[in-house]
Each structure stands twice: as structure tokens, then as C-alpha cells.
Amino acid sequence: MKMIVALVAVLFSSAALAQAEKPPLGNKRLVQHATPKTAKSAKGDAEAKARAAKLQECLEIDDGTKDRLNCYDAVIAPAPRPKATKAKGVADCRFTKEEDERLACYNGFVEKLPKS
């Protein structure tokens, strides 16, 4: 009986010790390094601002004209899809096949852009 009690005490104490400390994740310290993705996102932000500025320049052309649509198409080349979907962003306007609808789509997004 004493042997069983001693065995149970040893097992429970070793289980408690195993749960008390979490082992480290190897010998290396956890350090956050700058990744290339961070550099890419900064470059992407600059490109997005440049694209937004070019799109806003198109607003100076008379509304509803082919010239304004050509200006938008020069910044974001059209690539119509067979199945039309609702545009979620200004870049999605290029998928609209009809010119009038594509112009209205661009106008809707570009007019909402903050002025640079």
C-alpha cells in the first residue's frame, strides 16, 4: 500500500512539474526582422498614390466623353470578362465591357479618392 501511494505521489509531482514550465523554442531569440514584404508594400503604396494622381487628372477632362474614358484606360488597361461582375475597386472597372458603364464605374471610384 505504501508503495502504491509513493508511486502515485511521484507520478503526480512529475506531471505537475512538466506543466509548470514551458520549454523555450530552441536556442534562438525571437526577433522581428524587416522582411522584403515591408519594402514591397512601401513601393506598392507609392505606385498606388501615383496611379490615383493619374486617375484624378482624368477628372479634368469633360465628363461622359470618350477622351476621359481613354485617359482612364491609359492608366488601367481594359480587360473585359465574358461574365460581368460588380466592381469592388477602381481596378475592377477595366473588366466592364460597355464603355458607358466603364466610364461611370471609373467616375464613381475616382471621385471618392482623397485629393493628393
Query: Does some domain include residue 34?
Result: no
DSSP label of 33: -
Q: What percent of the chain has pLDDT over 70?
A: 72
Query: Does some domain include residue 6?
Result: no
Query: Does some domain include residue 5?
Result: no
Question: What average pLDDT does range 41-69 have in this prediction?
Answer: 90
pLDDT of residue 75: 93
Query: Does some domain include residue 101?
Result: yes
Query: Does some domain include residue 8?
Result: no
Query: Does some domain include residue 116?
Result: yes
pLDDT band at 40 (very low <50, low <70, confident <90, very high): low
Report H helices in 21-81.
Answer: 36-57, 66-75
Higher pLDDT among residues 38 and 52, named by residue: 52
Cell numbers that stand for 102 in this block: 466603364
Query: Does some domain include residue 20?
Result: no
What confidence tens digit (pLDDT) does each residue in 64-110 have? 999 999 999 999 999 888 777 788 888 899 998 889 999 999 999 99
- Give how far Cα 73 sits from Cα of 2, 15, 26, 102, Å: 88, 68, 54, 9
Pair 96, 104: CB distance under 8 Å? no
Q: How far apart are CA 72 and CA 55, in angstroms?
A: 6
| Parent domain of 94 | 49-116
Query: Does some domain include residue 65?
Result: yes
Contact partners, residue 106, CB within 8 Å, separation at least 6: 55, 58, 69, 72, 90, 93
Total tally of structural domains belonging to the chain? 1
Q: How far apart are CA 33 and CA 48, in angstroms?
A: 25
